[in-house]
Amino acid sequence: MKFIKQHISLIFPMVAILLGLEFFIAFDRTTKGYENSLRDNYAMLVVANDEMSIDDFKSWDSHVYKVTEIEKSKILNKVDSSLQATKDSNIHNKIPNFYSIKLNKYLNEQELERVKQNFLKSDKVKRVETFDTLHNSNYGLFSSIKLSFQTFIVFMTIIGFFLIIKQMEVWNFMHSQRMKVMDIFGASLFLRSKVLIVMGLIDAIISALIASGVFYIIQNVWIRGKHIAILEDNVDALFEFHDVFTLCLVSIVIVMVAVFLVVINVKEE
């Protein structure tokens, strides 16, 4: 019972932290697709006096990904179909050039404004339209969901870390006397901390396997059988096999740092 209690008290907070991490990874992966579709459906409109190339735009702002010139005839057509019919070359030549600009990233309001100002620094650019109302409502919804989820994860992680600190105090209480005695008899740092290192490694791996198991069950038992379109579309992104190694690595690093802090804090009497 004592043995199980010793292990559970580290495994429990570790699993909480790892679940938080895996939720973060999975959420990031599934939302990346949504973020990309928002990005692909969004374009800025730039009105310029002269003809411009993609390199001109890229030289003003590195977020520019794709530039499409909007044909003047289409614009004339939209303004007034009668104008197109006259085929007045004078009007045609006088209207400025319109460009649809796609960005390489989904930017927030401030970043969009910065891009706009970068374009407006050029004399060639007459006007920039960012359509920020539509953009902001999409971005706001998306960001608030992401932020609330991340807050939950951060909160969970903080609680996990507090529990680990508590466990470190327990370790210190349980192992410091042994480590002090071993130090007096000339044991190296590794020998003194070997028991803790082995215990920590085992607990770290068990924690990673439990967290992986939880996600595997969510993915393969809970979601796949539910036939909920929005979940089933992203089910593969929820948990990937290499996540087991990521969780193991993170778990081992956290536990080893905790062990190291306990060991170096054991002072001689």
Partner 1 sequence: MSNIIVAQNLTLSYERDEEIIKNASFFVRKGDFVFITGPSGSGKSTLLKSFYGNIKPQSGTLLMGGLDMSKIKKPKLQELRSHLGIVFQDYKLINEWTVERNVVLPLWIAGYSKEVQQTQAKRLLHHVKLSGKEHKYPLELSGGEQQRVGVARALAKNPFLILADEPTGNLDDYSSNVIWDLLENACQQLETTVVVVTHKIPSVFNIPYRHFTIDENGAIYEVH
**Is residue 265 within the footprint of partner 1 (CB under 8 A)?**
no
- The DSSP annotation for 113-175 comes to HHHHHHHHTSTTEEEEE--HHHHHHHHHHHHHHHHHHHHHHHHHHHHHHHHHHHHHHHHHHHH
Q: Residues touching partner 1: how many (CB under 8 A)?
A: 14
**Is residue 185 within the footprint of partner 1 (CB under 8 A)?**
yes
Taking CA atoms, 111 is separated from 107, 126, 132, 180, 207, in Å, by 6, 20, 11, 56, 40
- Token digits for 111? 């970043």
User: Of 181, 198, 249, 261, which one interacts with partner 1 (CB under 8 A)?
Assistant: 181
Closest listed residue to residue 97, CA positions, set 43, 42, 52, 44: 52
Among 25-33, 61-69, 173-181, 232-240, the segment contacting partner 1 (CB under 8 A): 173-181
Closest listed residue to residue 161, CA positions, set 266, 12, 8, 262: 12
Q: In angstroms, give the least distance from the CB of 143 to partner 1.
A: 52
- Token digits for 14? 């570790």
Contact 206, 7 (CB under 8 A): yes
**Is residue 173 within the footprint of partner 1 (CB under 8 A)?**
no
**Is residue 177 within the footprint of partner 1 (CB under 8 A)?**
yes
- The DSSP annotation for 221-265 comes to IIITTT--HHHHHTHHHH--TTHHHHHHHHHHHHHHHHHHHHHHT
**Is residue 1 within the footprint of partner 1 (CB under 8 A)?**
no
Q: In angstroms, give the least distance from the CB of 268 to partner 1.
A: 6
In this structure, what are the phi and psi dihedrals at residue 219, rounded to the nearest 5 degrees? -70, -50
User: Of 54, 187, 205, 252, which one interacts with partner 1 (CB under 8 A)?
Assistant: 187
**Is residue 225 within the footprint of partner 1 (CB under 8 A)?**
no
The smaller minimum CB distance to partner 1, of residues 48 and 182, is found at 182
User: Of 141, 165, 191, 228, which one interacts with partner 1 (CB under 8 A)?
Assistant: 191
The smaller minimum CB distance to partner 1, of residues 186 and 225, is found at 186
**Is residue 266 within the footprint of partner 1 (CB under 8 A)?**
no
User: Of 123, 186, 225, 227, which one interacts with partner 1 (CB under 8 A)?
Assistant: 186
Measured in whole angstroms, how far is the alpha carbon of residue 91 from the centre of its chain?
49
User: Of 19, 25, 64, 182, which one interacts with partner 1 (CB under 8 A)?
Assistant: 182
The smaller minimum CB distance to partner 1, of residues 137 and 177, is found at 177
Which residues contact partner 1 by CB under 8 A?
A: 177-178, 180-188, 191, 268-269
